[in-house]
Structure 1
């Protein structure tokens, strides 16, 4: 059975209120702007790293990039940019990148006043998240990705953040079900760029269970991961029809770099 938009496993999606479509709808009708603002805040908090790595890719220092990324969010809400979004903007990824480019075109004028939001923070500054984003930037710099246009760096980090978010929610679901150990035993089968996978026979011996049980657990885990990934992508596009297109783009970016 095909899941309806805003659902996961045929049930209500707990993150439906943070869908990009909620923001687009608010912009078209001018209705419920606070819900749109809250949805944008949640999405921006999740996808802070790609924006930061883009700014770093433009040549800004760590602290300047942090200030400008935080300042960008304050700019979005202060000027109600999110309420001007329409179908021409399409995906949340496209909207953010286009808005960030415009914001940075006047960066010199803003640098003196934007200090992690300039006292008007849209989302709180997360030191740990910022360190993770810098680590991603350094990883891609050492692998040569910094030589690519900053748009490619943004796309790569966006894809990795999306996958990380989906995996995090899958891990949380297994933990809530009391199956945390099960997830930890088999998560390598869904991790991007993981080391060579163990065989089912090797795992069966290590865990002292039947090989058929291993196969069943892995099949179920992969199925749930695909659903989580699809649900996360659904949060960042306006319509259900865009999900498959965005998933193909995600795969292209992860494999092509």
Structure 2
């Protein structure tokens, strides 16, 4: 099963998470914004976010036509530069969302690297990254003939990465409590899971009553929704941004 298919079974849970509550205290992105990057805590918080959300950047580059190795190198270079800055004062609150900030920063990074590559080519003939002269056949090979833009790929990969990370956190919680088998069984009950057994079959396999299983699945869904809101909160600046970002995530997944 592909990563997209694996996560799509969770999207039915997203909508009901919109109106839940989450304690918005200190989150990774709010630390970066409040400190304007002038603290070790801000850099550590940004590094955590970047480690989690590099896949949308890579997906954007691949859709732009970069070969696998090029996209990997550019992704690494982009985050190395971003995290290597002594000051992150360019980060402003009006940027609001980590999702928007990273895409804008990447586009600026690409334009800057292209200018540098062209300048080097005019000079000593050396190039750091061949951004300006991908062969036409390579570009055609990497860009399927459909109207999906690199920005759309970035947005969808972003949404799926959020869901993947939430599911991973939920699994870790169940495993830490010694309930790995219960997690695997409850996950199979999610909508659109291929070959999903009935609740009666699952209850019998786990040695539970159907009522006990329903309660366990309810708690599973509730915790997933809570973790989703927490994850979203880590990528926005204020509590008021959470609902907007959740609505955006839903729209991207339904597109």
In the superposition, the TM-score normalised over structure 2's length comes to 0.76
Give the Cα separation in 2 of the matches to 1:22 and 1:86: 12
Deviations 1:159-214 (A, max 9, x none): 111100011011111111111111111113457x5326433223233434211011
* 1:250 correspondence with 2:252: no
Correspondence list, 1:217-232, <5 A: 217-232=216-231
4+ residue segments displaced more than 6 Å = none
Instruction: Give 1:22's aligned residue.
Output: 31
Change (3 A) 1:208 1:178: closer
Q: Structure 2: 5+ residue runs without aligned partners?
A: 1-19, 118-126, 130-141
* Number of aligned residues: 216
Deviations 1:217-253 (A, max 9, x none): 1000000000111111111001111111111111111
Instruction: Give 2:185's aligned residue.
Output: 185
Give the Cα separation in 1 of the matches to 2:146 and 2:48: 28
* Greater relative contact order (CA < 8 Å, ≥ 6 in sequence): 2
Instruction: Give 1:4's aligned residue.
Output: 23
Q: Structure 1: 5+ residue runs without aligned partners?
A: 7-15, 115-140
Correspondence list, 1:85-234, <5 A: 85-109=91-115, 112-113=127-128, 147-190=147-190, 194-195=193-194, 197-234=196-233
> Alpha carbon RMSD of aligned pairs, Å?
2.6
Deviations 1:129-181 (A, max 9, x none): xxxxxxxxxxxx89x79641100000010011110001101111111111111
Rg (Cα) greater in structure: 2
Change (3 A) 1:40 1:153: same
Give the Cα separation in 2 of the matches to 1:202 and 1:89: 49
Change (3 A) 1:102 1:80: farther
